[in-house]
C-alpha cells in the first residue's frame, strides 16, 4: 500500500470485522462517466453524505440539512475522509460502537459531469467545483464552495439556477426512500433482528 493511500483515514476509522461497510481496494481508475451518491445516514445526528467519484475514490461531504433544489439555500457540507468506490451502493446498519454507527440508505445516485474547464480534482484543491448531476431525484447544476481551511473543512452546497432549480420542492420529504431498494431508514432499522 503506498504511503499516500487516500483510503488510509477511511480504513483507520473502521473495524472491518464488525462493520459491513466495504474495506475498498486500491483506488480504481475512473469510470467513463463519473458517478455520485447521496446516502441518508441516521448516525448520532441525521445527515446526508454527498460523494462524488474523483480519481478512483469517493470525495465525501456530510450535509446536515441535505441537498436543496432552491438556489437561495446554501447548505453546509463538511468534508470527510475519502471513501472507496465500493461504498457507492452501501446500505445497511453500521454497528453500535463503530464509526458512523447507525442506518444508511442510498437516497440518490447517478452520473455527473464537470461544468468547468479545469479538472474536478484541481477545482477541489482550489476550493470550488461546479458539476451537473443526473440522478433519479436530483438534476442539474450544483456548486461546492469551500469556506474554511484544512481537513474536515466547511464547504457550501448550492443549487445553480437552471431548469431543475425549484424553490417549492422538498425532495428530502417527498422522496424519502432508497433509490436502490425502495426501503426507508426505518425499514432497514427494522431488519436489525
Ligand atoms: Mn455519514
For residue range 57-89, what is the model confidence (pLDDT) as tens digits? 999 999 999 999 999 999 999 999 999 999 999
Q: Is 193's pLDDT higher than 90?
A: no
pLDDT tier for residue 191 given thresholds of 50, 70 and 90: confident
pLDDT tier for residue 1 given thresholds of 50, 70 and 90: very low
CA of residue 117 to ligand 1 center, whole Å:
30
Cβ proximity of 190 and 104 under 8 Å: no
pLDDT digits (tens, 9 = 90+) for 114-158: 999 999 999 999 999 999 999 999 999 999 999 977 665 899 999
Q: Is 3's pLDDT higher than 60?
A: no
Where do the structural domains in the chain lie, given as residue ranges?
Answer: 8-191
DSSP string, the chain: --TT-TTHHHHHT--TTT--S----SPPPPPSS-EEEEEEEESSSEEEEEEEEETTEEEEEEETT---S-TT-EEEEEEEEEEEGGGGG--EEEPTTSTT-EEEEEEEEEEEEE-SSS-HHHHHHHTEEEEEEEESS-EEEEEEEE-S-STT-EEEEEE-SSTT--TT--HHHH--S-TTT---HHHHHHT--
Burial of 1 (0-12, 13-18, 19+ CB in 10 A): exposed
CA of residue 27 to ligand 1 center, whole Å:
20
CA of residue 130 to ligand 1 center, whole Å:
22
Q: Is 32's pLDDT higher than 80?
A: no
User: What does the chain come to in residues?
Assistant: 193
CA of residue 47 to ligand 1 center, whole Å:
7
pLDDT tier for residue 30 given thresholds of 50, 70 and 90: low
Q: Is 187's pLDDT higher than 70?
A: yes
Q: Is 183's pLDDT higher than 60?
A: yes
CA of residue 52 to ligand 1 center, whole Å:
14
Cell 448531476 locates to 133
pTM for the whole structure: 0.91
Angle (CA) 40-41-46 rounded to 5° is 100
CA of residue 160 to ligand 1 center, whole Å:
24
CA of residue 151 to ligand 1 center, whole Å:
16
Average pLDDT over residues 175-193: 90
CA of residue 62 to ligand 1 center, whole Å:
6
Q: What is the pLDDT of residue 192?
A: 57
Cell 467519484 locates to 53
Amino acid at each position: 500500500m503506498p504511503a499516500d493511500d487516500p483510503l488510509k483515514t477511511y480504513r483507520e476509522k473502521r473495524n472491518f470485522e464488525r462493520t459491513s461497510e466495504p474495506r475498498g481496494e486500491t483506488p480504481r481508475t475512473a469510470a467513463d462517466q463519473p458517478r455520485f451518491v447521496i446516502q441518508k445516514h441516521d448516525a448520532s445526528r441525521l445527515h446526508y453524505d454527498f460523494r462524488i467519484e474523483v480519481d478512483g475514490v469517493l470525495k465525501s461531504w456530510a450535509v446536515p440539512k441535505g441537498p436543496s433544489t432552491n438556489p437561495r439555500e446554501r447548505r453546509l457540507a463538511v468534508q470527510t475522509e475519502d471513501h472507496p468506490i465500493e461504498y457507492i451502493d452501501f446500505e445497511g446498519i453500521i454497528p453500535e460502537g463503530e464509526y458512523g454507527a447507525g442506518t444508511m440508505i442510498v437516497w440518490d445516485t447517478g452520473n455527473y459531469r464537470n461544468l468547468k474547464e479545469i479538472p474536478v480534482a484541481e477545482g477541489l484543491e482550489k476550493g470550488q467545483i461546479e458539476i451537473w448531476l443526473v440522478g433519479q431525484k436530483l438534476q442539474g447544476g450544483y456548486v461546492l464552495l469551500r469556506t474554511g481551511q484544512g481537513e474536515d473543512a466547511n464547504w457550501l452546497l448550492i443549487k445553480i439556477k437552471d431548469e431543475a432549480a425549484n424553490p417549492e420542492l422538498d425532495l428530502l420529504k417527498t422522496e424519502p426512500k432508497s433509490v436502490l431498494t425502495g426501503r426507508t431508514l426505518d425499514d432497514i432499522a427494522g431488519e436489525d433482528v
